[in-house]
Chain A
Amino acid sequence: MKTIRLSFSFIFSVVSLFFCAAAVYAAVGCQLNDPDRDVKKIFPESTGYKSDFVSIKEIGGGGLYQKIEAALGDKFDPVYEAMDVPYSFYKVLKGRETIGYVHGVNQKGVFGGMQLIISTDLAGKIINFYYQKMSSPEAAKFMDKDFTGKFNGLALTDFLKGNIGISDPSKESGEDFRYTLRGVKKNLILLHELELKDNVLGSVKK
């Protein structure tokens, strides 16, 4: 009787083929792909960072959830934007001094999930914005620095006031442009409410 000999490389390969899918989507949630590299790239002068994972449920519960929804001007998706979703904040350090923040959120797009990463100064003003993930036939137009650079200098108060003066870079993906603005605004609100806790929403109302 003939025997079929299987080398380790073969076995490993077959197993990898049928198990690798798990690795493709192993990380769920919006964290930086490579925090060490990404933080240093945005803040070259930084010497380190401290990451913090918080959810709306931990900080303020249902009341805060509704407050954020009201400020956002849109309802949260009950499944993908639930109250217990943990958001990751990276407090960027230079020595012992905090010099800025990096924060990412997941945002539903027309053709797939977007991961929107913003970096801000201590007051919450955007100094860098990019898509960590974006699925769209016109993704390149959205991810172009000419477009993402237009968000630099904006703060939550600009979004709360309404017109931020940025136009849609795409021809047929107006919905994704709207989702991008929603995602960046959500990102800034969460930064102020969960990390900075500076009551910007309250002060704007007054």
Chain B
Amino acid sequence: MNAITIGFKNLTRKKIRTTLTVAGIALAVAVLVSLLGFDAGYQKSLSGDIDKLGYHLLVTAKGCPYEAATLILKGGGGLRYMEENIFKRIASDPRVDKITPQLMNSVYNQEGAGGKGAFAMYVGIEHSYLELKPWLKFRWGGWFSGSAADEVIMGYEAAEVEQRKPGDKVFVPGVSKVLTVKGVLKRSGTQDDGVIFLPLATAQNIFELPGKLTGVGVKLKDIGQIADFEESLYNEPGIQVVSLAEVRGTILNLVASARAMAGSVALIAIFVALIGVTNTILVSVFERTREIGVMKALGASSFDVFKIVWSETVIVCALGGLAGVILAISGSGLTAKVIRGMLPYAPQGELVLIKGEFVWMALLAAIVVGLIAGTYPAWRASRMKPVEAIRAGE
């Protein structure tokens, strides 16, 4: 019989104690794997969301966009607008590959949310919007019949909520305007699924914002020119420029802070589990003092005893690691749901992405924890003198 078989048999003698110790390790490993998975998933999803915006830079009106965003999210008007001629100046820059102007407007709907009032959002666009987002395809219908047509194109989910198809009417509350559905987009998995689009000129007309824009999306011919391009717009009055790479970096930095805190919790959990394993095996060694004495009296070397006890801790930690990995993988959907509920902005897509390397890393970490945790109990057991151990155990 080798040390691992004997160690395994020893563990099965105290099933409840072994199970609880394994569960402690499993929880710590599950937290660690979920955390690594969240880090990978969030980065991938966020990058995907930003890439799907279709542009490298976003030019918006100068002011306090935080206030504006809050107004749109929580309800209200008062967005800051920029002049359309700025769009024309940027469009004439030879470094620009594609550019698209947008006008967003939220409208108060007295009858929304069960009569309590709610805001609906509309976005005025030009055909260049689709050129910047070639993945947007029509489910039904097509592009507006004219640049100032009284028509809308609806995102997949917006159409589903409103139960609209081409030819149906859409009532724009607040401005009491009726528009006709010209097209419905296929599901894109982006924010566009929830938007009602209308021709830019129509939006400017019905919302009484002639010559105004809320933003301009810019895609450059050479992504390496982003910094220079931003610099050249720095002195343009009334606007501010946001590089979406910078947006991504800032959000990821923010998430990294949260991740560091969660990582500390995971480390504490692992440390607690390590102490738990050490304690369990040590108690087990003390309970078997006489047995160890007999083993040594019958010829077992100190190293044989050391190997047996060490094997027990490694088995406990390896089993805990395996259980933790299974727990993390099977619970990844729930973890993603909880995170999505807690974060103010969670990107679309798989928020918890558990890669194979995380699984191996976690299992290896569990085994290393086992080796560390088992060293002291194994050393204590191997140092026992046979006669004293047999007497002490009587």
Query: Using a CB–CB distance below 8 Å, which chain A residues touch chain B?
Result: 1-2, 4, 6, 8-26, 28, 33, 38, 77, 79-80, 106-113, 117, 130-137, 139-140, 143
Are B115 and A10 touching (Cβ within 8 A)?
Answer: no
Are A137 and B163 touching (Cβ within 8 A)?
Answer: no
Are A25 and B69 touching (Cβ within 8 A)?
Answer: no
> Which residues of B in the span 220-266 have a Cβ within 8 Å of any Cβ on A?
230-231, 234, 240-242, 246-247, 250-251, 254
Q: Could you list some 6 contacts between A and B, CB below 8 A?
A: A6-B250, A26-B194, A133-B112, A135-B173, A137-B178, A143-B115
Q: A1-B231, A10-B65 are in contact. Are A111 and B169 (CB under 8 A)?
A: yes
Nearest Cβ in chain A — how far from B34, in angstroms? 24
Nearest Cβ in chain A — how far from B66, in angstroms? 4
Contacts between the two chains (Cβ within 8 Å), count: 155
Nearest Cβ in chain B — how far from A115, in angstroms? 8
Are B113 and A13 touching (Cβ within 8 A)?
Answer: no
Q: A11-B242, A23-B73 are in contact. Are A137 and B250 (CB under 8 A)?
A: no
Are B170 and A77 touching (Cβ within 8 A)?
Answer: no
User: A10: which B residues are within 8 A, CB to CB?
Assistant: 65-66, 240, 242
Are B162 and A17 touching (Cβ within 8 A)?
Answer: no
Nearest Cβ in chain B — how far from A40, in angstroms? 14
Assembled-state Cα–Cα distance A1/B111 (Å): 52
Are A24 and B171 touching (Cβ within 8 A)?
Answer: no
Are B178 and A20 touching (Cβ within 8 A)?
Answer: no
Query: Using a CB–CB distance below 8 Å, which chain B residues touch chain A?
Result: 49, 53, 58, 60, 64-70, 72-73, 104, 109-115, 119-121, 123, 155, 157-158, 160-165, 169-171, 173, 176, 178, 190-195, 214-215, 230-231, 234, 240-242, 246-247, 250-251, 254, 344-345, 348
Are B163 and A106 touching (Cβ within 8 A)?
Answer: yes
Assembled-state Cα–Cα distance A1/B164 (Å): 51
Q: Which of A2, A25, A107, A108 has the most CB of B within 10 A?
A: A25
Nearest Cβ in chain B — how far from A32, in angstroms? 9
Assembled-state Cα–Cα distance A136/B176 (Å): 9
Q: A11-B250, A130-B115, A140-B111 are in contact. Are A24 and B120 (CB under 8 A)?
A: yes
User: A11: which B residues are within 8 A, CB to CB?
Assistant: 242, 246-247, 250-251
Which 10 pairs between the two chains have the least Cβ-Cβ distance?
A25-B194, A111-B171, A13-B65, A13-B69, A139-B111, A16-B69, A108-B163, A13-B66, A113-B163, A22-B191
Are A131 and B115 touching (Cβ within 8 A)?
Answer: yes
